[in-house]
Amino acid sequence: MDVLELARIQYAATTIFHFFFVPLSIGLIFIVAITETLYAVKKQKIYLDMSLFWGKIFLLSFAIGVVTGILQEFQFGMNWSEYSRFVGDVFGAPLAIEALLAFFMESTFIGVWLFGRNKLPKWAIAASAWLVAIGTLLSALWILAANSFMQEPVGIEIINGKAVLTDFMALITNPQLLVEYPHTVFGALATGAFVVGGISAFNFFKKRNIDFFARSFKIAMIIGIISGLGIAFSGHWQAQHLMESQPMKMAASEALWEDSGDPASWAVIADLDVENMTNNWSIEIPYALSILAYNSFSGSVEGMKTLQAAYEQLYGAGNYIPPVETVFWSFRVMVVFGGLMIVIAALGLFFEKRKSLYSKPWLLKTLIASIAMPFIANTAGWIMTEIGRQPWTVMGLYTTAQSVSPNVTAGQLLFSIIAFCGSYLILAIVMIYMVTRVVKKGPYPPKEKEANTDLLNKEAFEQ
């Protein structure tokens, strides 16, 4: 295996692991901020208990997210030095702002939220939690501004073979950013919601602290439904934008080798024959691709063969078709799990409102299993986004093959992959152990458990 492939594997492995914790942190701090606000307004201790309990899991995910995120930036210099030379003038601005503004804002107000309690009024603690939440959103904004440039380069000039930023406002109003950012944020909110909802369902199943987790569950499932719908609509807008900015990615996500007819059908599943650039069979929904691409019952979509010929004329000889199987199936995994999250959240909220959720073990088990769904959907979405852009690092300007460091050896990369993956495995085990310990311990110390009687008693389970 050559240096380029090893560098890709390392970046994929570390990025996927890092991105488990980023959306979880964003989603959990949002729920913590809501519970802190409810405590400040209603002055009921249970909302303080909710904030402290979910805050513990937030802090764990935030800490590991910071550690793994540092490595992401280091890799630009270690494995992708040629890319860093090309795009450093552009990347430097959003990454510096993210570190100096958003990260310091998060860190400062986490300190206020943790250590200001009993020293500051309740509204100040609630405000600090919201400022942490805003900080995480700002952090995501600047990171995605950098990523959006890779998808759709704007606001630059190529001077002496390097990208030079000439319009900062163009960078932060990038059309790709405007569709990518809300989609990512809604995905993060769904992640926090389903982790809280799943842990609450686990405690319903165990018949523990029902009132505490019922309130947590309601908040989580309301957020789950709203964010699920937000994911669907923002994803639709993003697909429409891809028709203009990255039509090859759109065609690959549909395994569309030839130009579609008018109207265009959407392939639900297909048997791909990549070697012969065709599909042996597919199950299609008429009109669906035209609606997805144009909000219309008519309209055709260019296929990969047509786009390949156009790209060869524009960029020169080369293969501009990304790994089709990966893009095609990752898109469908994302869509399926995104849709399931909306259905599960709606069912959970419906049966909880009717006080019959607790007598439905099948639904409780489904909710527990659904903890994994947003992580799978987020990962599949980013795999499609990044691999669908290949062979480009910066779309239309710089390829991945050009970006890799020239002086790094395959042996060095293989050693670092093993070292990083081993370290990340240890971090994952520690994280799972710590979260499991928090969940098993519950929201109350042993001495307080008897004092915090459930409003929903055991009879609710036996109905």
pLDDT digits (tens, 9 = 90+) for 112-135: 999 998 889 999 999 999 999 999
| Among 58-62, 206-210, 232-236, 321-325, the least confident range | 206-210
Q: Answer yes or no: is pLDDT of 251 > 90.
A: yes
Q: What percentage of the chain's residues is helix, strand, coil (to nearest 5)?
A: 75, 5, 20
- If residue 399 lies in a helix (H) or strand (E), which one and from where to where? strand 398-399
Q: Tell me the H-state helices in 43-121.
A: 45-78, 81-97, 104-115
Distance in angstroms (rounded) separating the CA atoms of residues 226 and 271: 34
Kindly provide the b/e burial profile for residues 97-130, where b requires at least 16 CB atoms within 10 angstroms of the residue's own CB.
Answer: bbeeebbebbeebbebbeeebeeeebeebbbbbb
Q: Which of 137-141, 244-248, 445-449, 455-459 has the lowest mean pLDDT?
A: 455-459
Distance CA 242, CA 296 (A): 16
Rounded mean pLDDT of the chain? 90
User: What average pLDDT does range 438-462 have in this prediction?
Assistant: 59
Token pair listed for 324: 């089709």
Altogether, the residues listed in the chain come to a count of 463
Q: Residues 361-408: pLDDT tens digits?
A: 899 999 999 999 999 999 999 999 999 999 999 999 999 999 999 888
Distance CA 329, CA 376 (A): 12
Q: String of b and e for 9-32 (b: at least 16 CB within 10 Å)? A: ebbeebbebbbbbbbbbbbbbbbb
| pTM flag (> 0.75) | yes
Strand partners, 269: 283
User: How would residue 456 be classed by pLDDT, with cut points 50, 70 and 90?
Assistant: very low
Closest C-alpha among 100, 84, 72, 96 to residue 150: 84
Q: What are phi and psi of 54, to 5 degrees?
A: -70, -25
At 463 the pLDDT is 40
Q: CA 55: distance to chain centroid?
A: 20
Q: Is the pLDDT assigned to residue 246 strictly greater than 70? A: yes
Dihedral pair phi/psi, residue 152, rounded to 5°? -150, 90
Predicted confidence at residue 2, as pLDDT, reads 87
Q: Can you tell me which residue has the tokens 């960029």?
A: 315
Span 246-257, average pLDDT? 93
Report how far apart, in Å, the C-alpha atoms of 144 and of each of 39, 171, 232, 265 are.
Answer: 33, 10, 19, 31
Owner of token pair 């932060």? 172
The pLDDT value given to residue 447: 57
Question: pLDDT, tens digit, for every residue of 313-352?
Answer: 999 999 999 999 999 999 999 999 999 999 999 999 999 8
Average pLDDT, integer, range 165-192: 94
Q: Tens of pLDDT along 10-69?
A: 999 989 998 999 999 999 999 999 999 999 999 999 999 999 999 999 999 999 988 888
Contacts of 269 (CB under 8 A, 6+ apart): 282, 283, 332
Residue 1 has pLDDT above 80, yes or no: no
Q: Is the per-residue pLDDT at 460 higher than 50?
A: no
Strand, coil or helix: 402 = helix
The confidence score (pLDDT) of residue 309 equals: 95
pLDDT tens, position by position, 80-95:
889 989 998 898 888 8
The neighbouring-strand residues paired with 416 are none
Query: Which secondary-structure segment (H or E) carries 398?
Result: strand 398-399
- Spatial distance between the Cα atoms of 418 and 342, rounded to a whole number of angstroms: 38
Contact predicate 308/320, CB 8 Å = yes
Quick check: 247 pLDDT over 90?
yes
Q: What percent of the chain is modeled with pLDDT above 70? A: 96
- In order, the DSSP letters of 303-365 are -HHHHHHHHHHHH-SS-----HHHHHHHHHHHHHHHHHHHHHHHHHHHHHHTT-GGG-HHHHH
Identify the H or E element spanning 273: strand 266-273
What is the distance between the alpha carbons of residues 58 and 351, in angstroms, rounded to a whole number?
27
Identify the pLDDT of residue 462. 41
Cα–Cα distance, 397 to 403 (Å, whole number): 11
Query: Which residue, 373, 49, 364, 28, is CA-closest to 215?
Result: 49
pLDDT in tens, 271-286: 999 999 999 998 999 9
Phi then psi for residue 260, to 5 deg, are: -75, 165
Q: What is the pLDDT of residue 358?
A: 82
215-228: pLDDT as tens digits = 999 999 999 999 99
